[in-house]
């Protein structure tokens, strides 16, 4: 089972590389309001969706991978002109220039290089000129990390997480958006905080954290996996982080 599925079944609601804080600041920077048409790629459990919908946009469309994921995401929807559809993130089928704001988190990290490019191109197609694009992804540090080190980290993450993990460096993430027709105007980086105890407590709250730990203890096969993930994050703590970028669609 992919690690994010396992964590979700254990009750973890926030599964972003930098925790909920960077997601909140990304949404604040996107400045969603009543005149916006919002598209979110892979809303997941809907934590960031709720932050976006608090701006009361004119419309919201979530793009999910499968029917089960879409059904789960729909639980976060709160009003009319809000929906979640099943479609590939790189080929949504939505009309050109149908969004003024688009964002996605922990999506591009899981895609190979060609699909990263295609997904960013799809975001550019959907956004109107001047539209805002936000991402929150896994970061490789420092910027000059060797190719051998990158390959080692990516291979280890893929093995431990049971899902393809292909993070990029700061300059590579920025170049991906620039090449896709965007001008980056806001950047934030932070350590990888997905399983940091203080971040888990802050994101999930005391009751949510207790429930998560209780479920983990009730399933003995889960504990070795959690320990392996934590050890991997700790092993590469100097080379893994989180990055959020907010960019504008070039006219």
Q: What is the CATH number of the domain that holds 114?
A: 3.40.50.150
Give the per-residue pLDDT at 194. 83
Inter-CA distances, 117 with 38, 112, 131, 229, Å: 21, 9, 18, 28
Whats the size of the chain, residue-wise?
A: 251
Query: Please, what's the b/e burial string for 209-227 (b: 16 or more CB within 10 A of its CB; e: otherwise)?
Result: beebeeebeeeeebeebbe
Give the per-residue pLDDT at 51. 96
Give the per-residue pLDDT at 126. 98
Q: How many CA atoms lie within 13 A of 54 on its CB side?
A: 11
Q: Which stretches of the chain drop beneath a pLDDT of 70?
A: none
What is the total count of domains within the chain? 1
Give the per-residue pLDDT at 198. 87
Q: What are phi and psi of 247, to 5 degrees?
A: -130, 165
Give the helix ranges, DSSP H, for 127-240.
Answer: 147-161, 170-179, 197-218, 222-235
CA distance 101 to 32: 7
What range defines the domain where residue 183 resides? 3-249
Give the per-residue pLDDT at 123. 98
Using only C-alpha atoms, the chain has a radius of gyration, in whole angstroms, of: 17
């Amino acid at each position: 089972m992919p690690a994010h599925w396992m964590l979700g079944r254990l009750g973890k609601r926030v599964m972003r590389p930098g925790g909920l804080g960077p997601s909140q600041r990304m949404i604040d920077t996107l400045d969603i309001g009543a005149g916006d048409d919002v598209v979110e790629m892979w809303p997941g459990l809907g934590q960031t969706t709720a932050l976006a919908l608090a701006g009361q946009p004119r419309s919201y469309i979530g793009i999910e991978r499968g029917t089960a994921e879409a059904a789960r995401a729909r639980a976060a929807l709160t009003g009319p002109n809000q929906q979640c559809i099943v479609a590939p993130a790189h080929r949504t089928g939505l009309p050109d220039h149908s969004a003024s704001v688009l964002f996605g988190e922990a999506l591009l990290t899981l895609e190979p290089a060609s699909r990263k490019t295609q997904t960013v191109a799809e975001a550019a197609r959907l956004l109107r000129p001047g539209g805002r694009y936000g991402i929150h992804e896994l970061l490789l540090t420092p910027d000059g990390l060797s190719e051998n080190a990158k390959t080692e980290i990516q291979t280890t993450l893929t093995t431990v997480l049971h899902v393809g993990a292909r993070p990029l460096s700061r300059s590579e993430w920025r170049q991906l958006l620039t090449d896709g027709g965007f001008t980056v105007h806001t950047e934030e980086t932070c350590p990888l905080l997905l399983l940091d105890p203080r971040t888990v407590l802050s994101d999930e709250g005391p009751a949510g954290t207790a429930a998560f730990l209780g479920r983990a203890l009730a399933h003995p096969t889960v504990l070795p996996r959690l320990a392996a993930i934590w050890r991997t994050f700790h092993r590469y703590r100097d080379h893994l982080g989180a990055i959020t970028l907010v960019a504008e669609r070039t006219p």
